[in-house]
Amino acid sequence: MQGFFSAEIGPARFVQQPDGDLLIVSDATQGSQFALRLTRLNPAGVRDSTYAPNGEKILSGLPPNLG
């Protein structure tokens, strides 16, 4: 399953992984520093702490034309 939705964090894209978890990608840009937020939820909708301490990783220092 793949999709697009808007949430409090702004527009986001998601993909369901083979194990049933959802990986959500959203914009985490601050000022001119382009960044992406990757949030992983388990099938119960809870943030996956095995992915990151709070189920979320920030990829920063990305080129502004990445998307």
**pLDDT at residue 8 in the model:** 54
Q: Where are the beta strands (DSSP E) in 8-47?
A: 10-16, 22-27, 35-41
Q: What is the structure's pLDDT at 64?
A: 72
Range of the domain at 42: 2-60
Would you say residue 37 lies in a domain? yes
Flag whether 55 is in a domain.
yes
Instruction: Summarize the confidence of residues 35-42 as an average pLDDT.
Output: 92
Give residue 32's pLDDT band: very low, low, confident or very high (50, 70, 90).
confident
Number of separate domains in the chain: 1
In a domain? residue 32: yes
- pLDDT over 60 at 9, yes or no: no
Q: Are the beta carbons of 24 and 13 closer than 8 angstroms? A: yes
Residue 43 pLDDT > 70, yes or no?
Answer: yes
Q: Would 45 be classed as within a structural domain? A: yes
